[in-house]
Amino acid sequence: MNHAKLKAIAREYGTPVFVVDHDVIRSNYRAFKKHLPRVQAYYAVKANSAPEIVRTLYKIGASFDVASMPEFKLVYDNIRHLPAKERQDFIWDKIIYAHPIKANQTLIELDQYKPLVTYDNYEEIRKIRKYAPHAGLVLRIKVPNTGAMVELSSKFGADPGEAVKLIKAAHDAGLTVEGISFHVGSQTTNFQNYVQALQVASGIFREAWSRGFDKMIQLDIGGGFPAPYDENVRPFKELAATLNAEFDRLFPKKVAILAEPGRYMIATAGTAVAEVIGKADRDGKRCYYINDGVYHTYSGIIFDHCKYPVKAFKKGPTQICSVFGPTCDALDTIGLAEQLPELKLGDLVYSENIGAYSAASSTYFNGFPPAKVVHINM
């Protein structure tokens, strides 16, 4: 993002400030559709649930992956202007409730919308039959998460060997299973995770079809699409080429393919700008304290296992520094090896590619408010 514009925003709104560029969001969406033309993108709202982002993505054709009723209602509220029938059709076409474990009350609230929901165990079948019998089902299976920044296979996913039994159990309960889903882990740079998962899913589809479960026509390949945090992340188009080859080889055209990109859509659209509020030398090392931290925009350091290099607008020779957030908690550590020039109190610093799983987790810990959020190019 343009440095002059970032500094102007900081002057106008004060710091800390979190800037979201909607031109970047639109560009990321277009790139996703260009390289994966067979895939419908269901934006993972948990990555950043700002209503402004939902509206931008909705306007350019995105669908949505939600995992809670507040997320569901956030998306639904953005299409209230549609006639009732179109809103109902919208749920089928534009929202998947992709959390395999749902509270009874959630299912009760969802049932009126006849949603598409995921499941991965027998108990969930019983719950859905009782509390949301009008839902369509997608079975989530366990697949390799090797090399993912955040692995998910230990928490969710049915064993592939049990998949057809779970499909039959849902069918016997009077429910309709419409497809298979999986998740290779967040920020997956090991593209073979997708290849293995697609091969496993293909085998399940064919066995299910052979047993008469011919309503299974949806494949949800989840998220995990890596954001370009550094030069070690291979280009998205390389992953897309691998996926397209596997789609053509393994899945007939009758199978509709959807995905749940969150990080990929929003990470590069966010930039955090903060102010140096403290400065000290400790054990021979320069330490800077800024007015944003891990309880605020940098929460991804804790919850997402992600790093966001701190950069200075000021030029000059650099040294290895520690950077801390504003709270009294030692956990509030942004980095211990940041390359920064000599800074003075009041100087501004920034971090790029911080749009996903960052401001979404901001708190008011220690009484410090989250960064102001500024949306540009909407």
CB 128 within 8 A of CB 114: no
pLDDT range class, residue 153, cuts 50, 70, 90: confident
Query: What number of residues does the chain have?
Result: 378
pLDDT range class, residue 231, cuts 50, 70, 90: confident
CA distance 94 to 368: 37
Q: Is 185 helix (H, G, I), strand (E, B) or coil?
A: coil
CA distance 350 to 8: 13
* Mean pLDDT of the region 228-235: 90
* Mean pLDDT of the region 242-246: 97
Please name every residue paired with 278 in a beta bridge, in sequence order, or none if there are none.
Answer: 289
CB 44 within 8 A of CB 261: yes
pLDDT range class, residue 80, cuts 50, 70, 90: low
Region of poorest pLDDT, from 188-192, 295-299, 310-314? 188-192
CA distance 114 to 135: 5
Q: Residue 110, Cβ neighbours under 10 Å: how many?
A: 23
Report the pLDDT value the prediction gives residue 105, as an integer from 0 to 100: 97
Q: Is 6 helix (H, G, I), strand (E, B) or coil?
A: helix
User: How many CA atoms lie within 13 Å of 126's alpha carbon, on the beta-carbon side?
Assistant: 3
pLDDT range class, residue 144, cuts 50, 70, 90: confident
Burial letters 157-191, b for 16+ CB under 10 A, else e: bbebebbbebbebbbeeebebbbbbbbbbbbbbbb
Name residue, tokens 């064993």.
Answer: 159
What the block records as the tokens of 20 is 């979201």
Identify which has the larger pLDDT, 249 or 82.
249
Concerning whether 306 is annotated as a catalytic residue, the answer is no
Note the pLDDT tens digit of each residue in 81-125.
655 555 555 555 689 999 999 999 999 999 998 999 999 999 999
User: How many CA atoms lie within 13 Å of 84's alpha carbon, on the beta-carbon side?
Assistant: 1
Which run of H or E residues covers position 250? helix 236-250
Note the pLDDT tens digit of each residue in 123-132.
999 999 999 9
Cis amide bond preceding 16, omega within 30: yes
* Mean pLDDT of the region 283-299: 97
Catalytic residue chosen out of the listed positions 287, 306, 321, 328: 328
Report the pLDDT value the prediction gives residue 124, as an integer from 0 to 100: 98
Report the pLDDT value the prediction gives residue 188, as an integer from 0 to 100: 83
Note the pLDDT tens digit of each residue in 190-209.
889 999 999 999 999 999 99
Name residue, tokens 């995990």.
Answer: 224
What the block records as the tokens of 222 is 């989840």
The candidate with the shortest Cα–Cα distance to 369, out of 274, 301, 282, is: 274
Report the pLDDT value the prediction gives residue 232, as an integer from 0 to 100: 86
Q: Is 255 helix (H, G, I), strand (E, B) or coil?
A: coil
Report the pLDDT value the prediction gives residue 81, as an integer from 0 to 100: 62
* % pLDDT > 90, the chain: 84
Interstrand relation of 176-181 and 39-44 (parallel, antiparallel or unpaired): unpaired
Report the pLDDT value the prediction gives residue 79, as an integer from 0 to 100: 66
CB 187 within 8 A of CB 224: yes
Q: What is the DSSP string of 262-303?
A: SHHHHGGGEEEEEEEEEEEEETTEEEEEES--TTTGGGHHHH
Residue 120, phi then psi, degrees to nearest 5: -150, 15
Q: Is the pLDDT of residue 243 over 60?
A: yes
Note the pLDDT tens digit of each residue in 13-22.
999 999 999 9
Please name every residue paired with 97 in a beta bridge, in sequence order, or none if there are none.
Answer: 66, 117
Interstrand relation of 270-282 and 256-259 (parallel, antiparallel or unpaired): unpaired
Report the pLDDT value the prediction gives residue 206, as an integer from 0 to 100: 97
Domains of the chain, CATH where assigned: 3-18+268-376 (2.40.37.10), 22-266 (3.20.20.10)
* Mean pLDDT of the region 300-310: 93
Q: Is the pLDDT of residue 146 over 80?
A: no
Report the pLDDT value the prediction gives residue 222, as an integer from 0 to 100: 94
Phi-psi category of residue 114: left, alpha or beta, with phi > 0 → left and psi -120 to 50 → alpha: left
Q: Is 225 helix (H, G, I), strand (E, B) or coil?
A: coil
Residue 63, phi then psi, degrees to nearest 5: -105, -175
Report the pLDDT value the prediction gives residue 325, as an integer from 0 to 100: 98
* Mean pLDDT of the region 136-152: 81
